[in-house]
Chains A and B, each alone.
Chain A
Amino acid sequence: GQQLNQSPQSMFIQEGEDVSMNCTSSSIFNTWLWYKQDPGEGPVLLIALYKAGELTSNGRLTAQFGITRKDSFLNISASIPSDVGIYFCAGPWGSTGTASKLTFGTGTRLQVTL
């Protein structure tokens, strides 16, 4: 599958700060997904983006589908301790049957200091 690179790889932030992270690809995607993985759990879907230029919010989270379709951005406003975890972008590719396979980004590890 395609390689998705996430930046930054990890970050420490103060509670209350805003966070920005991005995901880039060498290939075009028609859908961008953002997941969060807490320790000991599977990834949980945060936001799905389906159209180039689309901006979608989920509470304090806002994600954008890049206009080139090769990148996506996730912002978290006013971070809180429960935002700690690993954030993954993912892109569907290579449809198999009635669903697409997913390729995952390298991940951004978020740690919040009180």
Chain B
Amino acid sequence: SAVISQKPSRDICQRGTSLTIQCQVDSQVTMMFWYRQQPGQSLTLIATANQGSEATYESGFVIDKFPISRPNLTFSTLTVSNMSPEDSSIYLCSVGQGRNQPQHFGDGTRLSIL
């Protein structure tokens, strides 16, 4: 399966600032996804990162707060904008293999906002 690298692995940020998380895959993949995992919780899908077009966001997530880029088939970024303590979470990217198939995940970015 694809090797997925996320940067940074963790960060501590001040409220009101923004942070961009990078996700690099070692092979070309069609579909990439971004998830949020709040402390002690399960994973929730934020959006699907579409190559060459705007990301598709799930209910409760908006582009102004979580802008996503997908410039090519091996790379995507997620920005967490105007951060507040409620944004303290693990943010994970994943790649999809096909319909009704598993996804494979990076190790996540652990974000704490003070």
Q: Are A31 and B42 in contact (CB under 8 A)?
A: no
Q: Are B101 and A96 in contact (CB under 8 A)?
A: no
Where chain A touches its partner, the secondary structure class is strand
The answer, yes or no, to whether B22 is at the interface (CB within 8 Å) is no
Q: Which residues of B have CB within 8 Å of A95? A: 99-100
Instruction: Determine the residue in chain B with the shortest Cβ distance to A109.
Output: B40
Given contacts A98-B96, A99-B30, contact A40 B107 (CB under 8 A): yes
The answer, yes or no, to whether B39 is at the interface (CB within 8 Å) is no
Q: Are B42 and A107 in contact (CB under 8 A)?
A: yes
The answer, yes or no, to whether A78 is at the interface (CB within 8 Å) is no
Q: Are B42 and A100 in contact (CB under 8 A)?
A: no
Q: Which residues of A have CB within 8 Å of B33? A: 99, 101-102
Among A14-22, A42-50, A58-66, A67-75, the one that faces the other chain is: A42-50
Cα separation A57 to B80 with both chains bound (whole Å): 39
Q: Are B108 and A41 in contact (CB under 8 A)?
A: yes
Cα separation A83 to B56 with both chains bound (whole Å): 36
The answer, yes or no, to whether B105 is at the interface (CB within 8 Å) is yes
Residues on A lying within 8 angstroms of B by beta carbon are: 1, 30-31, 33, 40-45, 48, 50, 88, 92, 95-107
7 nearest A-B pairs in the assembled complex, by CB-CB distance: A99-B96, A42-B105, A99-B31, A31-B100, A104-B43, A104-B42, A42-B107
